[in-house]
Structure 1
Amino acid sequence: MVTAVESRLRNVTAPVVRRLRLPAAQSSPAAARAAVSEALVEVDLVAVLDEALLLTTELVTNGVVHARTELEIEILATPQGVSVMVLDHRCGPLSLTAWSAKTSAPGGGPFGQLQDRGRGLFLVDRLADRWGTVHHGDGKGVWFRLDRPTTRPGCAEPPGLAHVPGTIGAEEPSAERVALLAENSRLRLADTERRAWLTFLAEAGELLAQSLDVELTLALIPRLVVPRLGYWCTVHTTDASGDLHLASATHSDEDLLGGLLDRLRAAGTALRGTLRGEGVAALGAPVDGYAVPLVARGQLLGALTVGRAGATWPHNDEIAVVEDIARRAALAVDNARIHADLRTVARELQRSLLPPQLPKVLGLDFGAEYVPVGETVDVGGDFYDVMALPEDRWLVVVGDVSGKGVQVATITGLVRDVTRALVHDGRPLTDVLSRLNETLVERGGGRFCTLALASTLRRPGGLLEVGLHLAGHDQPIHIQADGSARLVGRCGTALGLFDTVKSPRVLISLHPGETLVFYTDGVTERRRGEELLGQERLRQEAATLAGFPAEVVAARLRAAALGFSPESPVDDIAILVLRNDGSA
């Protein structure tokens, strides 16, 4: 059996308490409104929602603008009413004042003493059932109380107010109440629009940041502006002399784009003049738009020009968004240019580590292919070279220094130059490998290098003898005249890892028409999902190329490696082919 006490307890709703600490920022009023709204919905007190949100907005905004300190918000909501206190942290004496807004006269009393505080306290005085101020050692605050509205028996609500949530009695003037609620609606709409613009700017910034291509970035900018912020949009860039050049343009009506470009060319002088100042500059007829300079890192890159349909001037919020897009766009363009410059430097540095061309040697045929990593600005450690030896002999060098970057390029150049110097001094290849290893141990910075050295010696009957040393490098592929292919050589120790290295010499006989294919691990480690290209697939592909010239073999193996996966290479690809063409 349910007792009377239990029945009463079921109808009791615990109060909802919220406490927030907010910064002195423009986002704080919205955060406070969200907390008040959540509390009122939880206790089913939406009847005073509009008034509570409006007063909370005013008090928090006053704290942000005037106190400029962190704010503490305390919310106490019950089914009977809600109390909200906004405290700042500006020092003041301890005192407490409280009164009833329903009994105070606008011309005197507490209201009269606080008229200089502006609209915020006026709204609190007119809408709150009770309100007051509190001063403490660390600051001060304002609180208000809104009770659940009741309608007196026998009194109907005035027409036009019955549908308004939060109406506190029929005695309130309907015009004043409607004006206050309209103000609350305006604040909500402004907050919604601000959030929409922030979302738009975040998405635009993400799109601009994704591109490191200058032309693509310049083409994207006007498409972000049209049609949301303008009827048409153009982007001009400046050259070294300060002249403007059209980079991209978009018009809501593509049929009118040609005429717009003609008018912009005619207004070139006026457009250049707008860049002498800062901020937005209006453009008169025949353009009828406004220009925003594109500035990044203190450098003028060009101008963003936006036009509107008709003679209406855009809203200040729209202009502010365009200025923000111009700042983001200028930074994206500058980043893309820096990236392009770095890529150019990387390519030139990488090219300096490779021979400008392979030698033309009677009886030998050389072919090579090199594929750097995608769009990266890093320099890889893969390299190859062909060096002349005494007695009409030749040395093939293929190597791979671990890692990427400027340090790797330095070490790669070191390995290549030291190898050349030692070979020209007539050192045996075993000594060359030992000296290279000592150099990398001392100066390699922890990097290691795999290396393949192959010296050629012409024998009677067109036979080519190849002495092969592998210092941790992948085994080359020997393509025989009958169409078979096999891996040859014995793997030794990579350079730069230990004080001494072992690299046994293996002799390989290349008959006329036979080929030896050298490659780096960027080929065999080409990945398609979880699957690697691997040495076996490469060997099978090479077997189909028996009898082809060295350049064709290198090109076909490069195509096979790239075609194995749709993804861009994640490691450099180097292929060097030595063929005995039997013409000696």
Structure 2
Amino acid sequence: MTSTPRAVLAATFVPGEASGDAVRRFTREVMTAWAAPSVLPAAERLTEEMVAQADHAPFEVVWGHEGDSMRLEIRQKEPTGSHPEGPTIPVAEWGVTHSSGTRVQWARLTLPDASRRMAAEWAEESAPGPFWLGFLADASDLLAGTLDPDMVPAIIAQIVVPRLATWCAVYTCDEGLGPLRPAYLWHADEARIDALREQLAGVDIPSPEGPGTSMMSVASWQVLAVPLRARGRGLGVMCLGRGDRFPDDIIQFADDIGRRAALAMDNARLYAQQAAANRALQRSLLPPDEPEVPGLDYGVVYEPAGETNEVGGDFYDLFAVADGAWRFAIGDVCGTGPEAAAVTGLARHALRLLAREGHGVADVLYRLNEAILDEGERARFLTLLHGEITPVPEGLEIRLVSAGHPEALRLRPSGQVDVVATPQSLLGVFPEVTYEEDVVRLDHGDVLLAVTDGVTERRSGDRLLDDDGGLARLLAECAGLSAQAVAERIRRRVQDFASEPSADDLAILVLRAA
């Protein structure tokens, strides 16, 4: 049975090593504020169990006080993981609900008599009316709806104007370092924004590291300066202005919004930093340039499937070796993230180093397999198609090895398609594996297509794209096209094969004898 909460406290978190401590700290703060220390151990354990079942995406922790009990909710945009399991500690009720693309895990803890009485008194004294509860809930939803650090100040300002103040100015800094700088300014009367900006230009804004919320005057305005601090760091200041005195309850609401806003800002910054680091890592795992290869027309499509803070497991490379020969590679490391990136980096750099030291294609794969196995528990298995391209009068000669990789296909100008590589053992599984090279001739106009399983295993219902030679039929339609046009057509067909976005990385490498 659902009760109307007498008080609600909520915060948004980004998954990661620091999130566990942050969630526990927030839970302790809630129990302290509601004078319910007797249920703190159960509340911490319940929160830890429920958060552990959240998917790898931002989530909101919401505590609601219902008089004789406390309700915990873990809200998250519809995750893709398994259905959550019930808590192991005794609770009055628990369940999972789905609404508007959001999954809510919830559980209710019954309060002992003493804690129930003290917490109820606190809630009755401090709880706002239904309008303000809805306002705070809406504010939390809006702040949790973005991970763009540049958007958070704009959302903050438009939440509080005009409900709490006539105008709002948000100032930010780099985690308490450096001067505050204006990030966003909003006024209930848009025509007055420019004049207000001039009034605020010379104002000394209090530091976010100061003692707390403070009052000051700017021209005819009463200004409330609310520090934005999260996880012990000062991130900025939210300044609210109105023509009359700020009532005490508005100051309390402003402090509450400030805490929520600071957490949202910090989460967005952490997410953006992680995304930037992973983009840099992703770029480091791909070729630094697009080389010009005599006699070769080539095309590439590369699309990681994960969010911007994920590093994909697919990779490709094309580089020169001695005596006018070139090497190419396209591979797929099991999984995503830093662990997969480590194996991808090892594979890409080992391929280049070993090839330039004169090792043949088969010997390179033998040595790379041993290097991956040497990683021990950190090892990930890897599928790889690696080959050496040598120009010949008739076109190109390619010596290649397919280590557990999807079939490499050759397209003749006539539209004939055939498989050109013998399947061999993938890398990182078995020691002392030997590999044999296949020799493939590409006459002028012939095309070699290599893809990762993001293409061949693209799913629509019970069907895969490559069922019954589906990829070969697509390739046959590409006769006469340039290498990049072939790659782009395959990419479009992969996208159109199913209505939902792909859940796997995608890499396509096309080599055409010019």
After TM superposition, the score normalised by the length of structure 2 is: 0.70
Cα 1:304–1:526 shift into 2, 3 Å: farther
Q: Quick one: which amino acid aligns to residue 448 of structure 2?
A: L
Q: Which residue of the partner structure matches residue 373 of structure 2?
A: 441
Q: Provide Cα deviations, 1:517-542, integer angstroms capped at 9, x if missing partner.
A: 21212233344566544464443333
Q: Tell me, in whole angstroms, the C-alpha distance in 1 between the residues paired with 2:461 and 2:154.
A: 33
Q: Which residue of the partner structure matches residue 184 of structure 2?
A: 248
The structural deviation recorded for 1:305 is 2.3
Out of 219, 234, 238, the position equivalent to 1:304 is 238
The structural deviation recorded for 1:481 is 0.5
Please, which runs of 5 or more residues in structure 2 have no aligned partner? Answer: 1-30, 37-64, 71-110
Cα 1:455–1:231 shift into 2, 3 Å: same
On the 8 A contact 1:30/1:191 being kept in 2, the answer is: no
Q: Which residue of the partner structure matches residue 320 of structure 2?
A: 388
Q: Which residue of the partner structure matches residue 172 of structure 2?
A: 237
Q: Tell me, in whole angstroms, the C-alpha distance in 2 between the residues paired with 1:266 and 1:191.
A: 36
Matched, 1:371 2:303: yes
Q: Provide Cα deviations, 1:123-163, integer angstroms capped at 9, x if missing partner.
A: xxxxxxxxxxxxxxxxxxxxxxxxxxxxxxxxxxxxxxxxx
Matched, 1:473 2:396: no
Q: Quick one: which amino acid aligns to residue 389 of structure 2?
A: T
Q: Which residue of the partner structure matches residue 215 of structure 1?
A: 150
On the 8 A contact 2:304/2:506 being kept in 1, the answer is: yes
Q: Which residue of the partner structure matches residue 510 of structure 2?
A: 577
Counterparts of residues 89-488 of structure 1 (less than 5 Å): 193=128, 197-198=132-133, 200-238=135-173, 241-245=178-182, 247-252=183-188, 256-270=189-203, 272-273=205-206, 278-308=212-242, 310-311=243-244, 313-443=245-375, 445-460=378-393, 462-488=394-420
More displaced stretch, 572-581 vs 532-541: 532-541
Cα 1:190–1:273 shift into 2, 3 Å: closer
Query: What is the count of residue pairs matched by the alignment?
Result: 410
Q: Tell me, in whole angstroms, the C-alpha distance in 2 between the residues paired with 1:493 and 1:314.
A: 72
Q: Quick one: which amino acid aligns to residue 265 of structure 1?
A: E
Q: Quick one: which amino acid aligns to residue 301 of structure 1?
A: L
Cα 1:483–1:238 shift into 2, 3 Å: same
Q: Tell me, in whole angstroms, the C-alpha distance in 2 between the residues paired with 1:71 and 1:315.
A: 34
Q: Tell me, in whole angstroms, the C-alpha distance in 2 between the residues paired with 1:424 and 1:476.
A: 24
Root-mean-square deviation (CA, aligned residues, Å) is 3.5
Cα 1:33–1:361 shift into 2, 3 Å: closer
More displaced stretch, 362-371 vs 186-195: 186-195
Q: Quick one: which amino acid aligns to residue 230 of structure 2?
A: A
Cα 1:563–1:282 shift into 2, 3 Å: farther
The structural deviation recorded for 1:387 is 3.1
What secondary structure is seen at the aligned counterpart in 2 of 1:500? coil
Cα 1:205–1:534 shift into 2, 3 Å: farther
What secondary structure is seen at the aligned counterpart in 2 of 1:272? coil
The structural deviation recorded for 1:388 is 2.8
Q: Tell me, in whole angstroms, the C-alpha distance in 1 between the residues paired with 2:126 and 2:229.
A: 29
Q: Tell me, in whole angstroms, the C-alpha distance in 1 between the residues paired with 2:32 and 2:505.
A: 52
Q: Tell me, in whole angstroms, the C-alpha distance in 1 between the residues paired with 2:145 and 2:427.
A: 39
The structural deviation recorded for 1:516 is 0.9
The structural deviation recorded for 1:467 is 2.4
Q: Which residue of the partner structure matches residue 110 of structure 1?
A: none
On the 8 A contact 1:24/1:71 being kept in 2, the answer is: no
Out of 436, 456, 473, the position equivalent to 1:540 is 473
Cα 1:271–1:263 shift into 2, 3 Å: farther
Q: Which residue of the partner structure matches residue 83 of structure 1?
A: none
Q: Quick one: which amino acid aligns to residue 575 of structure 1?
A: I
The structural deviation recorded for 1:426 is 2.2
What secondary structure is seen at the aligned counterpart in 2 of 1:215? coil
The structural deviation recorded for 1:70 is 6.4
On the 8 A contact 1:263/1:286 being kept in 2, the answer is: no
Q: Tell me, in whole angstroms, the C-alpha distance in 1 between the residues paired with 2:460 and 2:214.
A: 51
Q: Quick one: which amino acid aligns to residue 400 of structure 1?
A: D
On the 8 A contact 1:389/1:395 being kept in 2, the answer is: yes
Q: Tell me, in whole angstroms, the C-alpha distance in 2 between the residues paired with 1:31 and 1:504.
A: 73
After TM superposition, the score normalised by the length of structure 1 is: 0.62
Q: Tell me, in whole angstroms, the C-alpha distance in 2 between the residues paired with 1:546 and 1:248.
A: 55
Q: Provide Cα deviations, 1:366-409, integer angstroms capped at 9, x if missing partner.
A: 22222223433232222111233444332211111112222322
On the 8 A contact 2:225/2:237 being kept in 1, the answer is: yes
Q: Quick one: which amino acid aligns to residue 482 of structure 1?
A: S
Q: Quick one: which amino acid aligns to residue 302 of structure 2?
A: Y
Q: Quick one: which amino acid aligns to residue 492 of structure 1?
A: Q
Q: Tell me, in whole angstroms, the C-alpha distance in 2 between the residues paired with 1:455 and 1:187.
A: 74
Cα 1:560–1:307 shift into 2, 3 Å: farther
On the 8 A contact 2:325/2:390 being kept in 1, the answer is: yes
The structural deviation recorded for 1:433 is 1.7
Q: Which residue of the partner structure matches residue 42 of structure 2?
A: none
- Hey, which of these two has a bigger chunk of helix by percent? 1
What secondary structure is seen at the aligned counterpart in 2 of 1:214? coil
The structural deviation recorded for 1:321 is 1.7
Q: Which residue of the partner structure matches residue 31 of structure 1?
A: 67
On the 8 A contact 1:450/1:471 being kept in 2, the answer is: yes
Q: Tell me, in whole angstroms, the C-alpha distance in 2 between the residues paired with 1:324 and 1:282.
A: 19
Matched, 1:507 2:439: yes
Q: Tell me, in whole angstroms, the C-alpha distance in 1 between the residues paired with 2:505 and 2:66.
A: 52
Please, which runs of 5 or more residues in structure 1 have no aligned partner? Answer: 1-22, 35-68, 75-85, 88-185
